[in-house]
Every structure is written in C-alpha cells, then in structure tokens.
Structure 1
Amino acid sequence: MEYTYRFRLDPSKPAKVFLNKLVGSCRFLYNKLLEISKEEKLYNYYELKKRIVNLKKEYPFLKETNSQSLQGSCLNLKRAFDNFFNKRAKFPNFKSKNKRNSISIPQFFKIADNKLYIPKLKTAIPIILHRKSIGNIKSISITKTPSGKYYLNVLVEREMNKLSSNKNAVALDMGLMTFAKLSNGEEIKNLRFYKKAEKRVKKIQKKLSKKQKGSNNRKKAIIKVAKVHEKIKNKRNDFLHKESLKVIRDNQTRIMEDLKVKNMIRNKKLSKSIQDASWSEFNRMIKYKARWYGREYIELDAFYPSTKKCSICGYKNQKLDIHTRKWICPKCRTFHDRDYNATINQLKIGLGQSKLTPVDYAMAAEQKYIFWSTSYHKRKQEACHFNGE
C-alpha cells in the first residue's frame, strides 16, 4: 500500500537558491506548455513532452534542472487537462510563484544520515526526520510553501497494520453548529479555526494592501499573510486527522452521507463556514483510513430524507426547515434532536435495518423522557413552533 510521509527540510542559503531555481524552472515550463496548449489547441501529453527539447534550447537555464523533474511538470499539466475534460475541475491556470509550488524527483536521489542528496546539487540538505523507519521509498517531491518553508514528500510502499475488528457501527451527520453528531450519542465540536483568526487575517491583509507593489516590504507582508493562513491550515488538519482516526479506531463500520459540498458553498451566507469546517477533507480522511486499517465505509445518497424522517415510526415531517433544530413527531409524539435523529436513520439504512435495535429503542426512549421531563411552558413552546403557530 502506498503512503506519503512529509518531512521538513532545513536547506542552507546556497541550497535554497538551488531549490528556488528548480521550483522556478518547473513552474516556468508548466506555464510555457500551457501557453502552447492554448495557442495551438494541443492537449496530447506526448506531443507536449516533445516540446521540452526545443524549450531547453530556447531557454538554457532549463538545463540546470534534471530532465525527470521537467517531465513531471508536463505530467502535472496532463493531469490538469484530464481533470478538466472529465469535468472534475476548471481549465488549468498559470502557476504563480507566490503560491505552493513543488517539483518531483522520481530517481537518482538518496536519503542517508538524516540528509537528502538530489541530482545536480553538490551539498546535502538536512532533513528533520520524525520517523526512524519509513519503508520502501518509490519517489520523492519537494514542496515550497507560500511562507517560504521547504518540505520533503516521500512516497513509500508499506504494509499497514490492520486494527482488531469490533462490532461497533456508527453514523455521522455533519453540521456547522456542531462539526459532527454520531449515532452513539457523541458529538465533535466545530472549532471554527478561520473564524477565530479572521480579525488577524483582515488586519495583516489590510497592511499588505497599503504596501507598494514590487517593494521588499510588500514581499515581507505577503509572507506574513501566508504564515497566518498556513497556521490555520495546520491546526485544521491536525484536528481532522485526530478526529477521523478516533472514529476509525472505535468503530468497525462508518456510515456517512455523500454531501454535495460544491453545491452547498454556492450559498453566500454559509459558504465561508462550510469551507472552514472542511467536511470534504474529513470525509476523504475517513475513506482512506478505513481502507488502510481494514474498516468498512458506507456512503449514503445525499438526497435520502434522514433529517425529516422520524427514526421511531418512519413519519416524514415535510414542514421541517433548516432553522428548526428540534421537533416533535405528530404520530408517535417522540421529541427529536434534528441531527441525532438523522444519524439514527442513516445507521438503519446503512446497515439495512427495517426495525430499530434494542439499543436504538433505548436511546429513543431516553429522548422521549427528556422531552416529557421538561417544563409545561417549554413543551407548549416546542409544540407551537412545530405547528407553525
């Protein structure tokens, strides 16, 4: 099974200059090939690959970069075109030097004594290795982030240790008030990483807008903005990795809806919050970690009415809108938490159950008890809200 490790590089000043040249050359070639594709309507990978020889003659600095890395840029453009023609992405754009850039080095590299040796660089680059054994290395790539940091991505082939199986099954309902509610009664809080840092982001972006274009102060301000965004991203990824791994370890089967996030972010009022939550990334992590550790993943149709359907009697509440978080089933008089009720329905349909299990009945009974133990005025208020009074 293929696995990618990411390590921080600590290059010297001469090594940074060399890496910047490599990254710049690969980016330049990518943009040139894209320009040729637009002008000549040329989208074939092999035809574009032939143009590299002529471009090397026209731009001699490309010879300082190993040929395989340049071919990797051509391959990246091919993938971008494939995604476009398969309607998975928009038409490829030109790459900017202020954004994340990377180069691939499939061969002729060496990792030894916590150092990286790459073609055409005489000195070694120190690596901050946080793992002793990483398996059989297939290829590497070097990434430069907008904040100016360098990372080594190592693609390895290794066997993942399967987790011991259990009988636990859980359904997850993604949300914004709460990041996710689980059918076992647990919930994952939405930490809203971008929202917490939004004031600081606006402040430094305002300072950036006042800097003169092309000045050193503007370049420094760009790096400051990139560092803040990178910190937000790292915090979010750390949170998603920990929570997804916990769900994988505790449960044999996970059931989730196939959310159409691209359609959902068209809502201008919710788009920022949805992107901050990163449901798609969490879903992606659940999928590949389930495959790694021998767990089961079940994906449900996003249009299944799990929220409006009573998990006890099956009644469909057509009046339920997005603002109603709690409701009462008019048929069986069960008090429902909107998200928790959805997870029970997802669990039932995912496992192919036609009836509730004793555990589900106990949870539903607890919900009903919570409702009837509340005050008379609150019950009246809930009922009036449900009936639209």
Structure 2
Amino acid sequence: MLYVYRFRLYPTKEQVEFLNRQIGHCRFVYNKLLEIAKENYEKEGKKWNYYEYKKLLPKLKGESPFLKEANTQSLQEAVKWLDRAFKNFFKGLAKFPKFKSKKSVNSISIPQHFRIEGNKIKIPKLKTPIKFKKHRKIEGKVRSVSITKLPSGKFYLNVLVDREIEPLSKTENVVAIDVGLTHFCTLSTGEKIENPRHLLKTEEKLQKLQRKLSRKVKGSKKYLKLQRRIAKLHEKIVNQRNDFLHKLSKKIIGDNQAVIVEDLNVKGLLKNSNFSKHIADASWRRFISYLEYKAKLYGRKLIKINLFYPSSKLYSVCGYKNENLKLSDRKWKCPKCGAEHDRDYNAPLNLLKEGLKQLKGLLTIRVVGLERPELTPVERANALVEAGNSSLK
C-alpha cells in the first residue's frame, strides 16, 4: 500500500530562497492554467482537459522566461494537481478549484531525479543537499517526494513509498465506536474517550493575537512577525490534534481485529452553525481516515455502518425506536421495557450489532467488554448480540 513519511527540513538561507522560487513557479503555473480554463469555459463553454492544458506549458515558458529555472517535472505535477482538483469538483467531492495563495500551504512535487542519502536529500536544480530530521527509518520502495511549506515558514519533506502490509498478531476482539462532542468517542466496551478540545483551549490566546494583528499596519515588520506567531499557533494546534488521533487510532486498531464505525456525513454536519466549530475541532473525518489506513496497513477490518442507521434512537436491548429523541436528551427511559440508559453508550452497542451482521462468518471474534460483569448495559446487550451472530466465540 502507498504510505507517506513526513520529515522536518532544515534548509540553509540560500536553499530557502531556492525552494521559495520553485514553489512560486509551480503556484504560478497552477494559477495561470486555472485562469485560462475559467476564461475558456465562461466565453466558449470549453471544459477542462488535462492533456490539452498540459501542452500549454512550453508556451507559458516562452511568455515567462523565469519558469525555465524550475524543474520541468515539478511544473507538470502542478498541472496534475489542477486536474485532480477539477475531477474532485466534477465528482461533487469539492468546490470549484481556487487560486493558490502565497500565504497558505504550498508544495512542490518531485517525481524523479532525487536522491536520499542518510539525513540529506538531493533534488534537481539544487547543487547542495538539504538536511532533514530523519526520526524514523524509511521502509518500502520510494515512489516520489514532495516538499511542503507551511504559513509558519517551516518546510517538510514528504516521502511517498510503496510499503508492504504488516499484519499484527490476530486477536478475537471486535469493538464499535460512536463519536460525539461531549466525549470524543464512546466504545462499545463502555469506555469514554475525553474530548481534548485543542482549538477551544487555545482560542482565547488566538483571539488576542488576532486583535493585535488587526491594529498593526498591514505589511509592516510587526504585522508580518505577528502573522508568523499566529501561523505557528495554528500549526501547534494541528500537531496536537494529529498526535492525539494517531495514538488513539493506533491503540484501537492494535487491540481489535475489527472496528465498527458510523459512516458520517461530516460535510453536512458542519453546516450546523451551532456546532460547526466543535465538530471541526474534533476532526472526526480525519480520525476515521486514520483508522481506515491503519486497518489496511496492519491487516485489520474496518466496517462502516450507513449514516442513516438510527444508532441513537434504537434501544440496544429491546429494539424500541424513539422517534422523538432530541439532541439534548443524553439519557432516556424506554417506554417498552422501562430501562433507562445512556444515549452515548447505547449508540455503539447498536453499531456493534449491525456491524456483526456484516462480519458474521468472516472472523472468529468476541465482543470486547462482554467479559466484564460490572458493565450491566453490556450484559444486557450480550443476549442481543449473540442472537444476531451465532458465530461468536
């Protein structure tokens, strides 16, 4: 499977200037071709065609001689990025492609003619190799590399490799996960993972810096310095969030042979103005993507349950469906059997039951938590699960 290693680059002053020029050249080509594509569509109704617009590169080099300094293959990769953006737009996966800004995250792709030697990388058009922090061994066949510049001014090396699947020791455990805002997620074992709220914890400090920035003269030294501080703070929040998601997803995948999650429509949930900031901070979509690729890498199974499955409204013991359940109802009493239960804990038990139907006959598994007699709700769900999956052992 394809896997990306990421390392922090430490270029010299001259190398920083070179990388900035290379990234600028790729950004120029991307924006110029996007401008031409938009103009052709608005005037002539001409749709995007990758091979046709790729042929415009020699013409752009003639009109803009500075592009001759750039690595030709990197410019071709910029056209591929634009092609991918248009394809995602036509598939309904993204909005119409936007022009790249110098202030945002920028990258340059280098598909060939690079060389990694120890903790240094040699790239085309640059005489001296660039140092990077090699904190882990690169395993697998290297396919290509790219260099990313963040708004904070830091550079990162991304190494794409074709890596062999490394199956972990088999286990009989299976667990279901329900994500939320009160807690980051609740497992079918009864365990609740606290929501770290990285953005909300730093929000006050961030707002103070942004207010200071608004009082500075735009483009001045103090303005740029403060802008860099804000970018670094945002980067710290992203790093904290990714660290939390990586560690949690690795633990869950490592402990269970199969993991069951709900296939959420996060894009639709973000339209709720009351919870959009909290949902974005929790980063559920990224968490599920981490579970997905780690499951593939370590030989585990990830089961996604249809987003229309009423996991919160169904009572996991008797099957009663509460049509009047509100988001504010964290606990509710079943009118059918009279039992009262926790909404957050009930949902993963229902996901577990539904996921076991898909796993039936594929794996020899046991539901994590059923061996714990102190968890009364799990004991109640035990009979339900066993009835739905007679292959459990």
The TM-score with structure 1 as length reference comes to 0.91
Partner SS, residue 178 of structure 1:
coil
For the structure 1 residues 357 and 83, does the alpha-carbon distance in structure 2 shift closer, same or farther, using more than 3 Å as the test? closer
Query: 1:142 maps to what in 2?
Result: 147
The 1-side partners of 2:206 and 2:342 are apart by 36
The yes-or-no answer on 1:111 pairing with 2:116 is: yes
Task: Return the match for 2:191 from 183, 186, 190.
Answer: 186
Q: CA deviation at 1:364?
A: 9.7
The yes-or-no answer on 1:9 pairing with 2:19 is: no
Query: 2:235 maps to what in 1?
Result: 230
The yes-or-no answer on 1:33 pairing with 2:33 is: yes
Partner SS, residue 344 of structure 1:
helix
For the structure 1 residues 124 and 362, does the alpha-carbon distance in structure 2 shift closer, same or farther, using more than 3 Å as the test? closer
Aligned AA (1:183): S
For the structure 1 residues 49 and 314, does the alpha-carbon distance in structure 2 shift closer, same or farther, using more than 3 Å as the test? same
For the structure 1 residues 346 and 364, does the alpha-carbon distance in structure 2 shift closer, same or farther, using more than 3 Å as the test? farther
Aligned AA (1:6): R
| 1:236-247 aligned within 5 A | 236-247=241-252
Between 1 and 2, higher relative CO (CA 8 Å, sep ≥ 6) is seen in 2
Query: 1:56 maps to what in 2?
Result: 61
The 1-side partners of 2:368 and 2:162 are apart by 44
For the structure 1 residues 199 and 304, does the alpha-carbon distance in structure 2 shift closer, same or farther, using more than 3 Å as the test? same
The 1-side partners of 2:5 and 2:155 are apart by 14
- Percent identity between the aligned chains? 54
Aligned AA (1:49): K
Q: CA deviation at 1:309?
A: 1.2
Conserved 8 A contact 1:344-1:360: no
| 1:120-269 aligned within 5 A | 120-269=125-274
Q: Which runs of 4+ in 1 moved over 3 A?
A: 356-365
Query: 1:311 maps to what in 2?
Result: 316
Q: CA deviation at 1:303?
A: 1.5
For the structure 1 residues 133 and 50, does the alpha-carbon distance in structure 2 shift closer, same or farther, using more than 3 Å as the test? closer
Deviates more, 1:120-129 or 1:235-244: 120-129
Conserved 8 A contact 1:334-1:368: no
Q: CA deviation at 1:199?
A: 0.4
Aligned AA (1:127): F
The yes-or-no answer on 1:301 pairing with 2:306 is: yes
Aligned length: 368
Q: CA deviation at 1:361?
A: 11
Conserved 8 A contact 2:262-2:305: yes
Conserved 8 A contact 1:174-1:180: yes
Q: CA deviation at 1:367?
A: 4.3
Conserved 8 A contact 1:312-1:364: no
Q: CA deviation at 1:113?
A: 3.1
The 2-side partners of 1:299 and 1:273 are apart by 23
Deviates more, 1:35-44 or 1:73-82: 35-44
The TM-score with structure 2 as length reference comes to 0.90
Conserved 8 A contact 1:335-1:368: no
Partner SS, residue 141 of structure 1:
strand
Q: CA deviation at 1:135?
A: 2.7
Q: CA deviation at 1:160?
A: 3.0
Q: Residues 180-203 of structure 1, C-alpha deviation per residue, up to 9 Å, x if partnerless?
A: 000011121101000000001111
| 1:339-350 aligned within 5 A | 339-350=344-355
Query: 2:386 maps to what in 1?
Result: none
The 2-side partners of 1:358 and 1:111 are apart by 44
Query: 1:374 maps to what in 2?
Result: none
Q: Residues 58-93 of structure 1, C-alpha deviation per residue, up to 9 Å, x if partnerless?
A: 111110001000001100000000011111111101
Structure 2 segments unaligned to the other structure (5+ residues): 42-46, 359-365, 380-393
Partner SS, residue 153 of structure 1:
strand
Aligned AA (1:23): I
Partner SS, residue 84 of structure 1:
helix
